[in-house]
Amino acid sequence: MTSAPLWILGSRGMLGSRIAAHAHNLPGHTLWQCPLGPFAWHDTSLVREQFIETVKLFAGEAQRAGAWTVVWAAGSGTVGSSEEDLQRETATFNAFLEALSLQTSLMSPVSRGAVFFASSAGTIYGETDALLMEETPPHPISAYGRAKLRQEASLRAWSAHHPEQRVLLGRIANLYGPRQNLRKPQGIISHIARSTLLRRPLRLYVPLDTIRDYLDVDDCAMHIIACLRRLTTENCRGCTTKIFASESVTTIGEVLSTFERISKRPVPVVHLPRAPGHVRSVRFRSAVWADIPRPQRTSLLVGMHRVYGHQLRLLASGQLRP
């Protein structure tokens, strides 16, 4: 029997690469590599044409297997992104959904299709002291959060139009891990590590008592794969929303103190006015598919050691840049 193709968009990013690394734990699937080269992510018209051609090839593989799975872990948006960039990102995602819909073999009731979309838990719900769960009404306070909510809405509408296919919306807490993109103004653990190693001040735009839920990227990837096993093997048609989080909270002050213990040197910090769009406190609890065993949680101390060690090796090889 032909294995179902598993296509990960954003497979070179921190999350996508780790989902790919654990993909062998998804039964009946084989990683599908896009054969047409990199997508023109910043050109909506061109990337739409690229999606149409690439999805045609993907549909051919899926038709032979009678099943297919897509993971969307792409996107370069952050809380600091401009409205224009976020609109382009949403238009790009919509173009991909349109390209899927054009392939009737993928949308056939006999074709067992599944889509996972990586969304953002921290920016979807906005500012609140309440425990955040899947049923909590979203209330984004940043353009990035509103863009993620619009992308979720697009996927829900797509799912309603193709109810025979399976969709999982993953609202993900603050991811961290080695190989985070340091050019993006997010991922405070990675930025603290770099500032410590380069002995450059960390620009901090939120108070030290800001509370976050930090989730190790490998823990997240393994949990996503476990949920994809259910999505692709059980009767899960329609759209499901699930939070992926460590369900443990830590202040930024505690993160800084831990890094000082790891590095045995103080972390230089410059406190700046609070940036708009950043929430003060988030606490998550997932009630959806809670019976699926989660991987043993990587402690924040162990995870931060990994990030620090990775960047230490980059520094030794001359690859760690300011």
Of 30 and 235, the structure prediction assigns the larger pLDDT to 30
Q: Please determine, for residue 128, whether its predicted confidence score (pLDDT) is greater than 90.
A: no
- pLDDT tens digit sequence for 214-249: 999 999 999 999 999 999 999 888 999 999 999 999
**pLDDT value of position 130:** 86
Q: Please determine, for residue 273, whether its predicted confidence score (pLDDT) is greater than 80.
A: no
Round to whole Å and give the CA distance between 263 and 124.
34
Q: Return mean pLDDT, the chain.
A: 92
pTM of the model: 0.95
Confidence category of residue 277, pLDDT binned at 50, 70, 90: low
Round to whole Å and give the CA distance between 297 and 294.
8
**pLDDT value of position 278:** 66
Beta bridge partners of 117: 72, 169
Domains of the chain: 4-175+213-244 (3.40.50.720), 182-212+248-281+298-316 (3.90.25.10)
Round to whole Å and give the CA distance between 209 and 311.
26
Round to whole Å and give the CA distance between 70 and 232.
11
Sign of the dihedral through C-alpha 148, 152, 153, 157: positive
Confidence category of residue 183, pLDDT binned at 50, 70, 90: confident
- pLDDT tens digit sequence for 72-121: 999 888 888 899 999 999 999 999 999 999 999 999 888 899 999 999 99
**Tally of residues, the chain:** 322
Region 196-211 average pLDDT: 90
